[in-house]
Amino acid sequence: MPSGEQQSDGTLSVVKSQFGPIGRTTLSFQITPRLSGSFRYSSVKDWFTNPSDGITTYYDRSFDLRYQITQEGRYVPAITVGLQDIIGTGVQSGEYIAATKTFGDKVKVTAGLGWGRYGSYGSIGAPFGDRPAVDFGLGGKLRTGQWFRGDVAPFAGVEWQLNPKWSLKAEYSSDAYVEEAGNRATFQRNSPFNFGVEYSAKNNLRLGLYSLYGSEIGFSAQIVLDPKKNPHGGSLGPGPLPVTASAAAKSWGPNWVTDRGAQTAMRDQTQSILAHDGIMVESIAISPTRVHLRIRNTRLDNAPQAIGRTARALAATMPASVTTFEIVPIAQGVPLSTVVIRRADLEALEFAPGQDIAMEQRTQILPAPGVLPAGAILSDSQYPRFKWGLSPYVATSLFDPGKPLQADVGLRLTARYDFAPGLIASTSITKKLYAGIERSTFASRTKLPPVRSDASVYATEGDPAIERLTFAWYAKPGPELYSRVTVGYLEPMFGGISGELLWQQTGKPYALGIEVNYVKQRDFDQLFGFQDYSIVTGHVSGYYSFGGGYHAQLDVGRYLAGDYGATLSLDREFANGIKVGAFATLTDVPFDTFGEGSFDKGIRIDMPLAFLSGRPTQKVSRMVLRPLLRDGGARVDVENRLYDTVRKYQETDLDAAWGRFWR
């Protein structure tokens, strides 16, 4: 039964529930304080009788939106309007308006009106006319014509919080389960009354046991993740080096300005302090009053924290006359911005109340020069440099009608060789230890070139697989212009050449990029061979940060199957690196040519491991969830595109995460 309440802003939750033949897994995200979205994967056993493929279970994916009209007040209940299954097959579709009011601190009452599914039992009429029958066809289309049409029925429920851990629930359901209980008789619906008990096992885990529809026992488990609540209570790890007063700065003798030896010693001391935080010094240039230090942050997940720690190290090593610190972060060999910090501000604000905002206001973020200042001393042993890693991996295949959850487990070897700043050879090779993903019997009924729909063939044939083997060149052709050329086996399914140019100004919320690729489809075994299919693809991309963590990206261009169109992506990003977003691509491929789902769309979640562990690391676990992966609207998956590399050290992103400058 729907309720009028919303989760707290930004919350992600997953609910798994099952009763009788019906199972549901629902992923929900509180997009804004009042707007939430859910993606649901549901299954009904015994739906089909004697199907030709032997699969009697019906699987369905659906998407909901809920908007809260009023928040609960003293007299006003929380009222929410919801649209369920707005874009899938419509099997779950229903609309509702629900009001919830709390009485005291123990009792919550909900009442509402439902249409569609929620108007199918105990209807009191059809105020807005008949509900038109909709042929959902391939799914993936909005059915606005159905909304709030047809029979409407009331529903209600009450929740009694026994104590902080236990609560009891009772409800009157207006969902007749017409298809499941009626037409297909997968279970008996004897009563509209449901009862349940729920237990909050931990802050983020809730379990429920229910008696449903007078015939079934059900259970549910809910896991909640609030991006504002770090599971380990925030960032752990050692504190910073205290700021050294310049009055106490080391004397380097009268001639340090002209003494390269003294300056090299300063570089080495700075490096020895920063090494403890995984920050590498690439070069240093010291004048009587300024220091220009180029760094590479290899461990700290928070960019301002890396800047802050670097500034503290300089305060400990620089002669007193050096009053301005220019810190230039480098990624992929390219300088990203110049963060200008006055030494006096560092001293004045180390213990000042509200130090972070004050420091942010006094820090300048300027474009980074492409060339090193005169007299710069490079660090030894930064180039060339080699590193490698071996780690376990899990690859999953979801939503295959025969086997909805399949997984491969194996080892992934990665290696990277930096010849010089911006010149990088890298590879990623996987070897399966357990092959759980089977070749899909549903694959490749495509009317387009099979650029993605053979995914399960790639998954089964690549063992070992060279996921990537590339040579990349990153450069900075202008003060606010970045470039990338990547050649080789770009991703598991395509190889070729990819070129990109990005224009991003440090103080602006927008950026523009262009990318052109010539790619050829790789052999299924993901070794060195290619298939016949090749194509030129490319996009013009616009990026915009609305503030408050809301972010949009629009890509317009030609996709892998030769289709032309555009992708719109919307993300909510938190300063700790958690991102939750959705994307959709419309191209000139007609819906019936695209096939089931009508167009490409999905949800993506970035989860930094530093948030989960509390320890500094830059590893991010990325999930891309598509109801269906088909061939229209597909893009090459090149590694390390420019925007995500460059943006972290531009003003907009630095400001958003600035709270940890002093951490």
Subset of 319-338 contacting another protein (CB under 8 A): 331
Phi, psi of 485 (to 5 degrees): -130, 125
Among 57, 71, 230, 531, binds another protein (CB under 8 A): 230
Kindly state the smallest distance separating residue 663's Cβ from another protein, in Å.
6
Answer for which of 35, 241, 320, 485 binds another protein (CB under 8 A) is 241
**Shortest separation between residue 287's beta carbon and another protein, angstroms:** 19
35-44 and 22-30 as β-strands: parallel, antiparallel, unpaired? Answer: antiparallel
Beta strands 324-331 and 290-297, pairing class: parallel
Assess 35 for contact with another protein (CB under 8 A). Answer: no
H or E element in which residue 550 lies: strand 550-558
CB 543 within 8 A of CB 555: no
Which CB atom, from 106 or from 385, has the smaller least distance to another protein? Answer: 385
Nearer to another protein by Cβ, of 429 and 657: the residue is 657
Is 10:227 a contact under the CB 8 Å cutoff?
yes
Q: Is 461 in the site for another protein (CB under 8 A)?
A: no
Q: How far is the CB of 211 from another protein (least distance, A)?
A: 34
- What is the x/- site pattern for another protein, positions 380-409, by CB under 8 A? -----x-xxx-x-xxxxxxxx---------
Binding characters for another protein, 567-606, by CB under 8 A (x = yes):
-------xxx-x----------------------------
Residue 507 backbone class (left: φ over 0; alpha: ψ -120 to 50; beta: rest): alpha
Residue 227 CB, nearest approach to another protein (Å) = 6
Stretch that binds another protein, among 130-138, 237-245, 523-531, 553-561 (CB under 8 A): 237-245
User: With respect to another protein, which residue has the nearer C-beta, 181 or 313?
Assistant: 313
Rounded CA gap, 475 and 472, in Å?
10
Considering only the stretches 46-54, 162-170, 293-301, 473-481, report the one whose residues sit in contact with another protein under the rule CB under 8 A. 293-301
Alpha carbon distance 261, 377 (integer Å): 10
Q: Which is nearer to another protein, 120 or 305 (CB)?
A: 305
How far apart are the C-alpha atoms of 402 and 54, rounded to whole Å? 9
Gap between the Cα atoms of 438 and 459, Å rounded: 8
Kindly state the smallest distance separating residue 210's Cβ from another protein, in Å: 29
The least distance separating another protein from the CB of residue 70, rounded to whole angstroms, comes to 22
Which one among 168, 275, 344, 433 touches another protein, defined by CB under 8 A?
A: 275
Residues 407-426 contacting another protein, CB under 8 A: 414, 416
Does residue number 660 form part of the binding site for another protein (CB under 8 A)? yes
If one asks whether residue 485 binds another protein (CB under 8 A), the answer comes out as no
Per-residue contact track with another protein, 339 to 358, x per CB under 8 A? --------x--xxxxxxxx-
650 binds another protein (CB under 8 A): no
Is 32 a binder of another protein (CB under 8 A)? no
Q: Interaction with another protein in 199-228: which residues (CB under 8 A)?
A: 226-228
Angle at which helices 260-274 and 303-317 pack, to 10 degrees? 140
Burial of 353 (0-12, 13-18, 19+ CB in 10 A): exposed
Q: Which of 1, 97, 459, 511 binds another protein (CB under 8 A)?
A: 459
Please report where in the chains the tokens 């691509």 appear, as a residue: 585
Write out the binding residues for another protein, residues 509-568 only, by CB under 8 A. Answer: none
655 three-class SS: helix
Nearer to another protein, 111 or 610 (CB): 610
Using the minimum distance from each CB to another protein, give the nearer residue, 106 or 615: 615
Binding piece for another protein, criterion CB under 8 A, among 140-148, 235-243, 532-540, 558-566? 235-243
Judged by beta carbon, residue 375 or residue 404, the one nearer another protein is 404
What's the closest the beta carbon of residue 189 comes to another protein, in angstroms? Answer: 32
State how far the Cα of 557 lies from the Cα of 573, in Å rounded to an integer: 25
- The beta strand positions in 270-342, using DSSP E, are 279-286, 290-297, 324-331, 334-335, 338-342
Instruction: Centre a 10 Å sphere on the Cβ of residue 125 and count the other Cβ atoms it contains.
Output: 10
Find out whether 5 and 22 touch, Cβ atoms under 8 Å: no
Token pair of 611, please?
Answer: 């948030």
Q: Which residues in 245-274 contact another protein (CB under 8 A)?
A: 245, 248-250, 269, 272-273
Q: Looking at this protein, which amino acid is placed at residue 575?
A: A
Amino acid at 330: I
Scan residues 153-172 and list those touching another protein (CB under 8 A).
none
- How far apart, in whole angstroms, are the C-alpha atoms of residue 291 and residue 315? 11
d(CA 343, CA 322): 8
Q: Is residue 190 a contact partner of residue 217, using CB atoms and an 8 Å limit?
A: no
Residue with Cβ nearer another protein (414 or 505): 414
In the complex with another protein, the residue whose CB is nearer, 167 or 302, is 302
457 binding another protein? (CB under 8 A): no
* Residue 242 in the binding site for another protein (CB under 8 A): yes
Residue 478 touches another protein, criterion: CB under 8 A:
no
Total number of residues binding another protein (CB under 8 A)?
Answer: 92
Question: How far apart are alpha carbons 362 and 354 in whole angstroms?
Answer: 13
Nearest distance, CB of residue 243 and another protein, angstroms: 7
Residue type, 349: L
Determine if 624 is a binding residue for another protein (CB under 8 A): yes
46 binds another protein (CB under 8 A): no
Whether 583 and 604 have beta carbons less than 8 Å apart is answered as yes
User: What is the Cα–Cα distance from 552 to 643, expressed in whole angstroms?
Assistant: 12
Question: What's the DSSP call for residue 544?
Answer: E
Closer residue to another protein in complex, CB, 431/615: 615
Handedness of CA 313, 319, 320, 321 (dihedral sign): negative
